[in-house]
Structure 1
């Protein structure tokens, strides 16, 4: 295994394994990228959902195997360019993930903050893991938390995130069995309150929108009653 200074948006190290065989060298991830995405709640249960990985990998000569491994083979003397192509693929996948989240490495930190505030706001109410919901398209979406009878989703204000969230909520809402589902959407408005407010107005028809600053105030009010 080769150590590199590179990491995925949530801090997981980008994996690089190397093996030599009959004058050939192979750089591969041992299935770690797929496992990383599954750990983030990304659904990858058919070829259609892994197509984006192949689209980013194959131009660099990197293949996604049936075992879910990303790999590139090269003659031993061509190891440096093969390594560069492998790293270019992994960094492209990391960038893709950032675009999906619409935020940088602080996604998990924001989710932790939301969890703390929800617990402080209603201390007697248990905070559960997010459940999966199937949209009318058949896509399965994982929510961040389950709290007080509502599915909770926490997002930033990046346009890619807002667009993806609107699409996700529309898909979920269009499925008959989700018609009465309560969704609490928490938007991080601390960096750009104006953008958060306008995005909140768009998403308000699909969920119950609360700004992070509002949630923080409620959490503090509960902790410090007058």
Structure 2
């Protein structure tokens, strides 16, 4: 049976129980993201035999249509289907974005569903010629980080004292990993390297290990350069590699 306690192994986003058309209990997960019109992005999880159905309940295409975007126009609908298929989602007969997942893969499937809707939101903003929203790369990485080990301890903005006695804040603590998610810019690289060096050399890290994730989705060449620099002092990986691993 799905419940919000179980969902805590998938996401730390807001959760509430809902009832399906056949009386089954499911979950509504509210994310911190929104569509171009400001409508909140939510995902629904319902039992489907031995699998879990993840769906947006048709909300995404409905809201885009209400903004004046004809999502059923042939070329646009083709683009939507192709975007959804990149993360193994489909568009159902009622316009809902959906995917089936085995329960042991639900955490990664949830992360993929969030990524799909964000990609469609970005596409819609381009079609509507609206100003692009600033990306929250930490929030986007969060469900993929949790999916690495859904049972591991999780905390946002953990603080650790370094050798200099200064306290440093990381984006996420997951298990024993102190994680920062950064854009591929030299200033960000310099900042995390100073922080990692101070924490790694200090006696207060409680056997925690820094891990830096560099967003390479829009500027892969710049990200590759920054990853090479950071690798001299810390564990580091690209955002796309984080997304691609099924645990």
More helix by share: 1
More strand by share: 2
Structure with larger Rg: 1
Compute the TM-score of the two structures, normalised by the length of structure 1.
Answer: 0.46
